[in-house]
């Protein structure tokens, strides 16, 4: 673990081993690309000489998309240069110092443009739990589930950055007599997910092989795929989730580069049956990322992303095997990450088994979310008390229905 001269940054998970990218507004200016180190943001456009290594305008904002479009050689050079500027005893410390501002003086904005948003369903425990809860008399997993990473397109426009409050949505709610009623959702839920953000993209008609993942995935964020379970349950057949999800999807303000996660690649769980050749991997692509859900100030679930059945390279290879094109700043989320036991589930739907068993959230009994509740998703690599990498948290509070 290399050290930095930035005070207090070492040991927080926002030291040199991470260097996540975001887009922040400072001094009332429109948002610009920045890197987080400790509790500060390094405004990249203010670092002398840095823009010369990137395409014109790449550091002007309002999102990271032009940096993502620049591709892996540019990402590596940029990270190496930032590490050089920020390392302890750097002779060029002053070049970075003038571009460093306290996070408290900035406002984090959505770091990516999200031209498309795909959500997968890659935890076998989650998919099995949902099957058991929604279709108790049937096989919990559909016949296709072990053959492909099931996924669907979500709404891009309502992807929001951590900290943005979420208004309880209205919609059609099912009733026992068959005709729906209209009103605010009574079953507002969270989904703990990990998402990846794409790099330079790929033209229509050119699939991305799983082996090319380092050229195409820039980095990772945490994702809270807010869900209205009653709306979703009534609407989802036969074309999938729509309004039960499209009101809000929250992501981290900071994108941790894939390069930073290389030390945390671990062997994935076995897949049975062996997937088709385009989904096979030559390297280990499970990610050892600890995850937790805080609700009303209490940790109500704790799990790890390494348990996902389908990995990011498999998700991207599958999503493009038909030639679908990819653009810089696309978001691909894992689907809810659940472990094998109740305290490791990634949604209230599972933690309360469809609302049957209330959860103790720091003294408050909860089945689904109530107005005013705040949810925080956290993720880290390494030791909890002194993490190597900390993900940007995903925080959101529930506003009452309009």
Residues 177 and 306: their CA atoms lie apart, in Å, by 43
Asked if 116 touches its own copies (CB under 8 A), the answer is yes
Asked if 207 touches its own copies (CB under 8 A), the answer is yes
In the complex, the smallest distance separating the C-beta of residue 261 from its own copies, rounded to whole angstroms, is 25
Residues 114 and 152: their CA atoms lie apart, in Å, by 15
Three-state secondary structure readout of 321-385: CCCCCECCCCEEECCCCCCCCHHHCCCHHHHCCCCCCCEEECCEEECCCCCCCEEEEEEEEECCC
- In the bound state with its own copies, the residue whose beta carbon lies nearer, of 235 and 290, is 235
| Span of 42-50, 70-78, 272-280, 281-289 interacting with its own copies by CB under 8 A | 272-280
Residues 294 and 253: their CA atoms lie apart, in Å, by 18
33 phi, psi to nearest 5 deg? -60, 140
In the complex, the smallest distance separating the C-beta of residue 277 from its own copies, rounded to whole angstroms, is 7
Residues 25 and 37: their CA atoms lie apart, in Å, by 16
Question: What residues between 164 and 183 interact with its own copies by CB under 8 A?
Answer: 167, 169-172, 178-180, 182
Asked if 136 touches its own copies (CB under 8 A), the answer is no
Query: In 138-221, where does DSSP find H-type helix?
Result: 213-216
Residues 165 and 54: their CA atoms lie apart, in Å, by 35
CA 95 to chain centre: 32
| Span of 91-99, 137-145, 308-316, 354-362 interacting with its own copies by CB under 8 A | 137-145
Q: Are 127 and 360 in contact (CB under 8 A)?
A: no
State which of residues 30, 278, 383, 386 lies at the interface with its own copies (CB under 8 A). Answer: 278
Total residues contacting its own copies (rule CB under 8 A)?
61
Asked if 281 touches its own copies (CB under 8 A), the answer is no
**Is 147 an annotated catalytic residue?**
no
Asked if 98 touches its own copies (CB under 8 A), the answer is no
| Span of 10-18, 34-42, 138-146, 300-308 interacting with its own copies by CB under 8 A | 138-146
- In the bound state with its own copies, the residue whose beta carbon lies nearer, of 71 and 180, is 180
State which of residues 13, 38, 61, 151 lies at the interface with its own copies (CB under 8 A). Answer: 151
- The DSSP bridge partners found for residue 326 are 202
State which of residues 68, 317, 326, 381 lies at the interface with its own copies (CB under 8 A). Answer: 326
Asked if 150 touches its own copies (CB under 8 A), the answer is yes
Q: Are 316 and 120 in contact (CB under 8 A)?
A: no
Per-residue string for binding with its own copies, 299-318, x by CB under 8 A?
-------------------x
In the complex, the smallest distance separating the C-beta of residue 323 from its own copies, rounded to whole angstroms, is 5
State which of residues 111, 154, 313, 346 lies at the interface with its own copies (CB under 8 A). Answer: 154
C-alpha pair distances (Å), 213 with each of 167, 196, 208, 319, 338: 36, 11, 8, 13, 24
Sign of CA dihedral 301, 302, 304, 305: positive
Q: Provide the annotated active-site residues.
A: 126
Q: What is the contact surface with its own copies in residues (CB under 8 A)?
A: 115-116, 118, 121, 142-144, 147-148, 150-158, 160, 167, 169-172, 178-180, 182, 204-205, 207, 228, 231, 234-243, 246-248, 273, 276-278, 318-319, 321-327, 330, 402
């Amino acid at each position: 673990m290399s050290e930095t001269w930035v005070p207090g940054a070492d040991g927080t998970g926002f030291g040199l081993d991470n260097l996540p990218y975001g887009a922040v507004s400072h001094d009332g200016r429109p948002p610009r690309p920045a890197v987080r180190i400790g509790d500060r943001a390094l405004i990249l456009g203010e670092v002398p000489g840095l823009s010369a290594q990137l395409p014109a305008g790449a550091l002007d904002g309002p999102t990271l998309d032009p940096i993502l479009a620049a591709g892996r050689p540019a990402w590596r050079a940029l990270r190496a240069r930032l590490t050089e500027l920020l390392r302890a005893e750097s002779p060029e410390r002053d070049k970075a110092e003038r571009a460093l501002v306290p996070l408290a003086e900035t406002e984090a904005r959505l770091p990516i443009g999200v031209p498309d948003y795909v959500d997968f369903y890659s935890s076998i425990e989650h998919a099995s739990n949902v099957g058991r809860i929604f279709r108790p008399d049937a096989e919990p997993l559909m016949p296709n589930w072990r053959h492909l990473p099931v996924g669907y397109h979500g709404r891009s426009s309502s992807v929001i950055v951590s900290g943005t409050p979420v208004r309880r949505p209205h919609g059609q709610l099912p009733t026992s007599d068959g005709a729906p009623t209209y009103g605010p959702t009574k079953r507002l839920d969270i989904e703990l997910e990990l998402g990846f953000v794409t790099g330079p993209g790929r033209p229509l008609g050119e699939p991305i092989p799983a082996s090319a993942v380092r050229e195409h995935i820039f980095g990772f964020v945490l994702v809270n795929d807010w869900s209205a379970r009653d709306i979703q349950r009534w609407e989802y057949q036969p074309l999938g989730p729509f309004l039960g999800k499209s009101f809000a999807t929250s992501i981290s303000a900071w994108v941790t580069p894939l390069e930073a996660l290389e030390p945390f690649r671990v062997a994935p769980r076995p897949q049975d049956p062996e997937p088709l050749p385009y989904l096979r991997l030559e390297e280990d692509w499970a990610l050892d990322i600890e995850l937790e859900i805080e609700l009303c100030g209490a940790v109500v679930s704790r799990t790890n992303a390494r348990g996902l059945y389908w990995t990011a390279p498999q998700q991207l290879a599958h999503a493009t095997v038909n030639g679908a094109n990819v653009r810089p700043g696309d978001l691909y989320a894992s689907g809810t990450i659940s472990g094998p036991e109740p305290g490791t589930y990634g949604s209230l739907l599972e933690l309360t088994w469809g609302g049957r068993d209330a959860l103790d959230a720091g003294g408050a009994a909860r089945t689904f979310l109530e107005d005013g509740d705040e949810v925080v998703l956290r993720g880290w690599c390494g030791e909890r008390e002194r993490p190597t990498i900390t993900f940007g948290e995903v925080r959101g509070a529930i506003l009452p229905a309009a």
